[in-house]
Chain A
Amino acid sequence: MTEAMVRISQVRKSFGSHEVLRGISLDVPERGVVCVVGPSGSGKSTLLRCVNRLETITAGRIWVDGELIGYRELDGRGSRRRGLCLLKPAELCKQRESIGMVFQRFHLFPHRTALENVMEGPVTVQRVNRVDAERLARRLLDRVGLADRADYYPAQLSGGQQQRVAIARSLAMSPKLMLFDEPTSALDPELVQEVLTVMRDLAADGMTMMVVTHEMGFAREVADHLVFIDGGVIVEQGPPREVLGNPRHERTRAFLGQVV
């Protein structure tokens, strides 16, 4: 059995008294692409943000590549208690290094050029020397079709171009896993495809991906597994063609009726 790249087990998350995730369990196999769909406020972003610990979970466990995210399991030997111990900040950073994240609103660093944005992670976090980092960054910008925009600042790029730079910025850390939170939702319709094309190529190259999206065409074509979340629980999941073509639950049907 191959170990799952992401293992989400019984995860709960509350903001105050409001429980947003109510027991989510989900595996993403290595090289797998999982698409997460669901209505607004159902907890899709929160789930994704828990995986790289931009949010702390209230219950459950998340492992990425076999490593427990955010905590260390104490074995109770010696004088130590059994249970969980929070990771030190440096250990947390180490875990995040190998998990790429792409945001709905890009969040490129506006004071740095496209090239500098892509170089930022390798230079600052991985201490790669600038010459190698620049070579890597140019290769990645070329890969997302923006070799000629290296010297532009984010404000001078279209939304689709900015999102492709953001993908290149994440890829520069050589992540094991990429998280996408509605990467095309802030884009004009005619710019959506250029971003989806880049993501399709990534999937074809064997990147493990978790994608929150409303692009059902992309989900049907690229995802191995589709998850429908509503009210903080997984209502229905399976191969995308089955879930999209023949939804078994009333809520799934109602949601898909609205989206398509």
Chain B
Amino acid sequence: MVTKTPDAETIRAVRPPRPGRWVAAGAAVLALVWLAYTIIVNENLHWDVIGGYLTDDRILGGLWVTIQLTVLSMAIGLALGVLTAVFQLSDSPVLRGAAALYTWFFRGTPLLVQLIFWFNIGLVFPEISFGIPFDGPKLIEFQANELITPFTAALLGLAINEGAYMAEIVRAGIRAVDPGQREAAEALGMSHTQVLRRVVLPQAMRVIIPPTGNQFISMLKTTSMVSVIAGAELLTVAQRIYLENFEVIALLIVASIWYLVLTTIASVGQHFIERRFNRGYDGLTRRVRKNLNPFGFRSTA
């Protein structure tokens, strides 16, 4: 008997009505519109001032310093973190000890203190020199006060602090890689460095990237702490301007808008980097991948 029963057809079911959802959505939209309205018509917010300062030369200069500080300190922090994590996982007790000391100290003291310390390092070490240690001959010698500008002090403080946190993230990533991967690579005759560079780290990156993206976004805003050592980044510049013209709220909004723009760009960037390192895990062959548009949809053409 081959009658076509209704349950052999492809199912096309309608959803049951959800009145509650519509009510909630309506209320949310209403609240948002009302909030936007009160902000826009509020005269205390000085929208013309905000618009004017958004592209002010000093603000843009501060923005550029913020970007530089973030990118450089994250790059150096990541490098320090990888190095420290490799030390932590090495079988040399000296390297493990050095790594432990580093993370213990820099995670255990406030960043604010570290920044002020680096800025005032000239008080402890007036001259910084490279040469034979313990009073031997010196090759290069600097006056600390010439070397340590607010920018270099900020970079030192942020990068070295970040390295201590990145070390934990990188270590977790390395430990997440199947030990069999290392053995397979060693069996091919790879050296320790080759195993790390070609096999372990690329796989660890999948685990490392999401929290690193978090750290990056957090760093964009942490750079504002540099204002205590007169760094010329976005928030410091905004503060300087409102100390002249008393447009406190307006300039804080200008700074916040730029922070939001930066963090939004960073989030989008993070998405693309994550996809790059998900190669081999998301079920797409390279051939299929070539036909993808930048937004990850399969093109139908």
Contact = CB atoms under 8 A, between A and B. Distances in A.
30 contacts: A90-B191, A93-B190, A96-B186, A96-B188, A97-B188, A97-B189, A101-B184, A103-B184, A105-B180, A107-B181, A109-B184, A110-B203, A110-B280, A110-B281, A111-B202, A111-B279, A111-B280, A111-B281, A112-B280, A113-B286, A124-B198, A125-B190, A151-B287, A153-B279, A153-B280, A153-B281, A155-B281, A156-B285, A169-B188, A173-B189
Interface string B186-199: 11111110100011
A249 to B, nearest CB: 33
Interface in A54-77: 54
Interface string B274-289: 0001011101011100
A38 interface: no
Given A110-B281, A151-B286, A154-B280, A93 B180 contact: no
Given A110-B280, A111-B202, A156-B283, A93 B191 contact: yes
Interface in A67-94: 89-90, 93-94
A155 B287 CA distance: 15
B178 interface: yes
A161 interface: no
B188 A173 contact: yes
A152 B198 contact: no
Contact of B189 (A54, A111, A125): A125
B296 to A, nearest CB: 17
Nearest to A52: B187
B105 to A, nearest CB: 32
B56 interface: no
A97 B190 CA distance: 8
B181 A109 contact: yes
Contacts of B194: 124-125
B127 interface: no
Given A151-B285, A152-B285, A109 B189 contact: no
Contacts of A110: 203, 280-281
Interface in A199-217: none
Given A54-B183, A109-B199, A121 B283 contact: no
Contacts of A182: none
Given A100-B187, A107-B178, A107-B181, 6 more contacts: A90-B191, A111-B281, A120-B198, A124-B194, A124-B198, A173-B188
Interface in A128-155: 151-155
B255 to A, nearest CB: 40
Interface of B: 178, 180-181, 183-192, 194, 198-199, 202-203, 277, 279-281, 283, 285-287
Contacts of B202: 111
A37 to B, nearest CB: 22
A226 interface: no
A107 B180 contact: yes
Interface string A113-131: 1000000110011000000
Contacts of B184: 101, 103, 107-109, 166
Contacts of B280: 110-113, 153-155
A67 to B, nearest CB: 14
Given A109-B199, A120-B198, A103 B180 contact: yes
A99 interface: yes
A149 B283 CA distance: 14
Contacts of A105: 180
Q: Which of the listed residues A90, A94, A155 has the most CB atoms from chain B within 10 Å of its own CB?
A: A155
A94 B190 CA distance: 9
Contacts of A111: 202-203, 277, 279-281
A111 B150 CA distance: 42
Identify the 10 closest CB pairs spanning chains A and B, nearest first.
Answer: A97-B189, A107-B184, A153-B280, A101-B187, A107-B180, A121-B188, A96-B189, A93-B189, A151-B286, A125-B189
Contacts of B188: 96-97, 120-121, 124-125, 169-170, 173
A107 B200 CA distance: 12
Contacts of B183: 54, 103, 107
A170 B175 CA distance: 25
A149 to B, nearest CB: 9
A112 B285 CA distance: 11
B95 to A, nearest CB: 16
Contacts of B185: 109
A100 B189 CA distance: 9
Contacts of A156: 283, 285
Q: Which of the listed residues A96, A100, A107, A166 has the most CB atoms from chain B within 10 Å of its own CB?
A: A107
A110 B279 CA distance: 8
A103 B277 CA distance: 25
A100 B185 CA distance: 11
A121 B191 CA distance: 11
